[in-house]
Structure 1
Amino acid sequence: MIHIESTGLIAGKPAPTGSVGGAQQFGQPAQSLWELACQRWGQWQPLIFSALVTASLTACTVGPDFQKPQATQIADWAKPAKSAPSQAVSEPLNERWWEVFHDAQLSVLTQRAVQSNLDLQLASSRLQQSRAARQVITADRYPNTAATGSYARERNSGKGLNDPSGHNGDSAFNLWDAGFSASWELDFWGRVRRETEAADANLEVAENDRRGVLLAVLADTAQNYIQLRGVQNTRAVTEQNLDVARHSLKLSQLRLADGVATDLDVAEAAAQVAAIESRLPALEQRQSQLINAISLLMGEPPQALAKELSTDAAVPQSPLQVAIGLPSQLAERRPDIRQAEARLHAATAYIGVAKGDFYPRITLSGNLGSQAMQLSDFGSWSSRAFGIGPQFSLPLFDGGRLRGMLQLREAQQQEAAVAYQQTVLRAWHEIDDQLTAYNASQRRRDSLAEAVRQNQIALRTAQQQYVEGVVDFVNVLTVQSALLATQEQWVESSTGVSLAMVGLYKALGGGWESVYPAAKVAAGLPGVVKAPTDIDGSAVADLK
């Protein structure tokens, strides 16, 4: 490394003369050659400095420029059967998709989850870390300055090269020093710019990580709430069937008393009542688990929402039309695709950083201050000292470290490119699977609705025929069991339709836009985390 810098004056003493290699002995009169050199440097200094700065700002940038990848596209989504009651249409995706259920309780829970979810707060912390890391890296693009100062009581050897006290080591002396220093790496090859580019891309990775967490929180809140309402409706159906079974038991007991029924009829009716009752504890347990799951999403302790959510309500139903957007908008909407693209961008920029390490690093450094042996002389014009000059470092032999790092970065870019294609392909499969599930669940629900109607007719007929003595009681029990099974299946399928729609919206990547806009990082505001927007439009703090 070559370091070139100017020398200054010390403690008001005249510039030294007669030194080896241009360094002059302390205490001799200043020479005209030194004065001439200082004059020349003063004339050329602004020109040299301007040239270096201009060259740094207009220098080339090594490494490949990032090109937005072309993802696999499909022409259109899979369409449901025209007979399906709810149709998926290629219209702009509803960013507030949870509102299509028209369930006020669900909207409130969604808002609270956005405000208080701990996973979301962790993602916000990671985003803040990424912003701070970007600020650290971008600081290398600017000059670094520092104030310096020191005091020392010294005594030099009388046999050394220089004794500034003039007493040949016979006495000690004071040395006061204060000033400013500055250094600036001139980014001729764009290495620092590539580091900044990679930091911006990593910040985009963190932003989309937060959006992905937000999307998962929205979907999990809706799915747990829908499942809770489904369990409550299943319990209501079970309790209704339990009332019917108890009525049948009482009827069989009355007929036994009249001598027209047998003990077998009563035992079978009692067994039916017990079998239906046995279903209730499992449903109550499942309800408690789902309430706890929702409480966890809200950042609340167990059973904190038990009073609020224990009251039965209908399962939220899907609308007649479900807007699912256009296939071409998928890459702009799904956080995981945006995140994979940002990772590819960062990997591409790191190749430029690795290539920049092969080139010389040129740094412009300087200092300006005052140095004196007497405090009374400190700050006088003759005690001024300065130095300025460039230095460079060029790697000559490193055992292949730089070459290995470049190969590593290139391999990481290839991995990121494949990961991007895989993420896009997985997204298409997830959407197609969710569309299929949504369509199939609607058909299953409609078929089960018809089965429930027919079983209700069959039960009324069987009960009437049993009273008339046409059929045995076992026929009533068989039809009653079939009705209970189909009713529970219908509630499950109705719940499944709404769950499939939530899964579809999650696969489409919608919902985070209205809560956390896809704004680019403010170029001049590193380290500032913007508060996301609540679903009402109000500000929500990232961290509690």
Structure 2
Amino acid sequence: MRWRLPCGHDACRTPRPHLPRRATLAGLVVAVSLNSGCIATGPRQWIRNGFKVGPNYSRPPAPVAAEWIQAKDPRVQQAPPRDGDWWDVFQDPTLNSLIYRAYQQNPNLRSVGTLVIQSRAQQAIAVGNIFPQSQQLLGLYPYGNLARTRTHLEITAFNLSWELDFWGKYRRQVESANAQLDASVENYDAALVTLLADVATNYVQYRVAQQRIKIARDNLRTQEELVALAERQQKVGTATSLDVEQLRTLVEQTRSTIPSLEIARGQANDSLSILLGEPPHDLEPELGPGAELGSLPMPTTPASVAAGLPADLLRRRPDVRSAERLVAGQSAQIGVAEADLYPSISIGTVLGQQDIGIGSILKTSGGLTFIVPQFSWPILNYGRIVNNVHLQDARTQQLIATYQNTVLTAAQEVQTALRGFLRSQEQADDLARSAAAAVAATKIEERLFREVKADVNRLFTLENSKLQQQDQLAVAQGNIALNLINVYRALGGGWEFRLQGDGHSGAPITNTTTHPVPSGEPPAHGPFAVPRERPAAPVPGGLPEALPMSGPGPTVTPVSGARGAR
């Protein structure tokens, strides 16, 4: 299937016949329009485009469903997803603090932010190309001393050359640079979404490992007490050595599970340290021991989630918005390439002063003023120019397909996360009942064992089953939280965090404005807006505005308004 260009034509891909070599100048002008098909923009379209050749950008269609597959489940709400601080649903101040520290200190986030600075500089260069492209200051002071009569000639002149943007080539370049700048900001937001979700994921994994270690140690203490009781019973003849060794096997088996759990906790600890922008170190003094056994499961998770509608992904997910902005930037490159089909018109100006003297007889001075229109048309490069238009067209089609695939992938990730969130709740409920039954049965068997009425084989089985059920329950409760984090990650939540100013206001973000998907020039507000003003209070971990060079050198500053480098 072949996607249509934003201009709506498919004929751009057909080969074009070569121009006759003896074409007159007037014939060439007509031939450009007739021989180029839809490549050449007609006069009316050129005027409607704002005196720019090439297609005006319109957002390509995106395949989105009307609702989620799980929309009928009451736990999946169609209300707008929680913006910004979605991690508050866990009601954990420690997690909130880690999120803030990662936002402030993560070096990878700062690295992605420097790409925004680079895009700002490139956008400024594109704006500057609209203004006079060449300026020269010339000076000539020759003196003649070979003859008896001294002669001198002094000339001071300023030369300026300005290619008029008659076909909109430079304005299309600005459009492309603006879209690239938008995409770089969206990439920063995508990195922020990933960072915040990774911090929450590793924090949950750390807490789950803590809980599993506590469960193992609690069961280990109980089993050691049973071994001691069996040894006392052996001394009085109410238990055999086989009973003692069988229970001791259970103790060592339980003890052997703890090192692997400590490894899992250590991995989560080290990952958290790196995400915080800190060397790996023990975080337990900061994070604390976690919830006690028998208390509320850790972490606490809500039973439902607001997932919105699939169409919300087009304006919420930064990677989707970035892919759309790349299409817009590449679409403008078609107009840049098409502008080379037409003659370029330039104005050359020379302003200066000259003084001429021949001895003491003749002296004259006067001003120099030249205005020279220039005209160039690379008609012999016509084939290469047309193929360049085809190239930019094909690249646009590729990015359209990439954008549509990004939308599909985003929807798939949300569906997978929602399914995991709902099914993990059901699994945790089943395991909670199973673990409660195992605990009750084990308590009965332990009481019978103390009364010398129990079967050691059955006690061994029940103790082992209780440990497994409690451990699986802790994992299932953690999976609920992990799947909920994946839901918010897939929905693109968290990038609004940087809009809070200090990044840690403590109050939930209430901005739920529906942002339209941009078309043409980038808007001044919303997620597609290009932030060009430095905030009053810079955020250490926020979107960077300028980074100092090494040493006392200059800094790269953002573009203000429509002014660029000249």
TM-score in terms of structure 2 length:
0.76
Give the aligned partner of residue 25 of structure 2: none
1:321 and 2:309 are equivalent in the alignment: no
Give the aligned partner of residue 298 of structure 1: 276
1:354·1:405 contact (CA, 8 Å) conserved in 2?
yes
Spell out the pairing of 1:79-98 with structure 2 (5 A cutoff). Answer: 79=70, 87-95=75-83, 96-98=85-87
Give the aligned partner of residue 498 of structure 2: 515
* CA drift at 1:224: 0.6
Give the aligned partner of residue 124 of structure 1: 113
Spell out the pairing of 1:457-536 with structure 2 (5 A cutoff). Answer: 457-516=440-499, 528=532, 530=534
Q: Structure 2 residue aligned with 1:103, among 92, 102, 106?
A: 92
- Higher-Rg member (1/2): 1
Q: 1:495 to 1:431 in 2, by over 3 A?
A: same
Which amino acid counterpart does residue 182 of structure 2 have in structure 1?
A: E
* CA drift at 1:147: 5.8
Task: Point out where structure 1 has 5 or more consecutive residues left out of the alignment.
Answer: 1-54, 156-164
Which amino acid counterpart does residue 433 of structure 1 have in structure 2?
A: T
1:177·1:371 contact (CA, 8 Å) conserved in 2?
yes
Give the aligned partner of residue 259 of structure 2: 281
* CA drift at 1:79: 2.9
Counterpart-to-counterpart distance in 1, 2:234 and 2:97: 54
For the aligned residue pairs, the C-alpha RMSD in angstroms reads 3.2
Which amino acid counterpart does residue 478 of structure 1 have in structure 2?
A: T
1:515·1:532 contact (CA, 8 Å) conserved in 2?
no
* CA drift at 1:460: 1.2
Q: Structure 2 residue aligned with 1:60, among 40, 51, 56?
A: 51
* CA drift at 1:427: 1.3
Give the aligned partner of residue 368 of structure 1: 351
Counterpart-to-counterpart distance in 2, 1:88 and 1:266: 52
Which amino acid counterpart does residue 302 of structure 1 have in structure 2?
A: P
Counterpart-to-counterpart distance in 1, 2:86 and 2:50: 49
Give the aligned partner of residue 189 of structure 1: 167
Which amino acid counterpart does residue 143 of structure 1 have in structure 2?
A: P
2:354·2:365 contact (CA, 8 Å) conserved in 1?
no
* Cα deviation code 1:456-505 (max 9, x no counterpart): 01111222233344432121111111111111100000000000000001
1:532·1:541 contact (CA, 8 Å) conserved in 2?
no
2:355·2:365 contact (CA, 8 Å) conserved in 1?
no
* CA drift at 1:76: 1.5
Counterpart-to-counterpart distance in 1, 2:81 and 2:131: 44
1:151·1:174 contact (CA, 8 Å) conserved in 2?
no
Spell out the pairing of 1:196-345 with structure 2 (5 A cutoff). Answer: 196-303=174-281, 305-309=283-287, 311-313=289-291, 315-345=298-328
Which amino acid counterpart does residue 409 of structure 1 have in structure 2?
A: Q
Give the aligned partner of residue 46 of structure 1: none
Q: 1:351 to 1:182 in 2, by over 3 A?
A: same
Which amino acid counterpart does residue 66 of structure 2 have in structure 1?
A: A
1:245·1:269 contact (CA, 8 Å) conserved in 2?
yes
Which amino acid counterpart does residue 96 of structure 2 have in structure 1?
A: S
* Cα deviation code 1:271-311 (max 9, x no counterpart): 22222112222222222221111111111111164531353
Which amino acid counterpart does residue 127 of structure 1 have in structure 2?
A: V
1:431 and 2:414 are equivalent in the alignment: yes
* Cα deviation code 1:410-461 (max 9, x no counterpart): 1111111111111111111111111111111000000000010010011112
Give the aligned partner of residue 512 of structure 2: none
Counterpart-to-counterpart distance in 2, 1:532 and 1:467: 72
1:135 and 2:124 are equivalent in the alignment: yes
Give the aligned partner of residue 383 of structure 1: 366
Which amino acid counterpart does residue 82 of structure 2 have in structure 1?
A: N
Q: 1:381 to 1:125 in 2, by over 3 A?
A: farther
SS at match of 1:515: helix
1:407 and 2:390 are equivalent in the alignment: yes
Counterpart-to-counterpart distance in 1, 2:448 and 2:71: 43
SS at match of 1:514: helix
Which amino acid counterpart does residue 222 of structure 2 have in structure 1?
A: V
Q: 1:80 to 1:241 in 2, by over 3 A?
A: farther
Q: Structure 1 residue aligned with 2:67, among 70, 76, 80?
A: 76
Counterpart-to-counterpart distance in 2, 1:142 and 1:365: 13
* Cα deviation code 1:244-279 (max 9, x no counterpart): 111111111111111111111111222222221122
Counterpart-to-counterpart distance in 2, 1:476 and 1:532: 68
Q: Which moved more, 1:266-275 or 1:498-507?
A: 266-275
Q: Which moved more, 1:178-187 or 1:326-335?
A: 178-187
* Cα deviation code 1:363-413 (max 9, x no counterpart): 112121223357x99xx9933222212112101212732122111111111
* Cα deviation code 1:211-270 (max 9, x no counterpart): 100000010011111111111111111111111111111111111111111111111222
SS at match of 1:366: strand
Task: Point out where structure 2 has 5 or more consecutive residues left out of the alignment.
Answer: 1-45, 292-296, 501-514, 548-566
Identity %: 31
Give the aligned partner of residue 28 of structure 2: none
Aligned length: 471
* Cα deviation code 1:184-234 (max 9, x no counterpart): 211111111111111111111111111100000010011111111111111
Counterpart-to-counterpart distance in 2, 1:172 and 1:478: 119
* CA drift at 1:312: 2.5
1:202·1:346 contact (CA, 8 Å) conserved in 2?
yes
Q: 1:373 to 1:250 in 2, by over 3 A?
A: farther
Which amino acid counterpart does residue 328 of structure 1 have in structure 2?
A: A
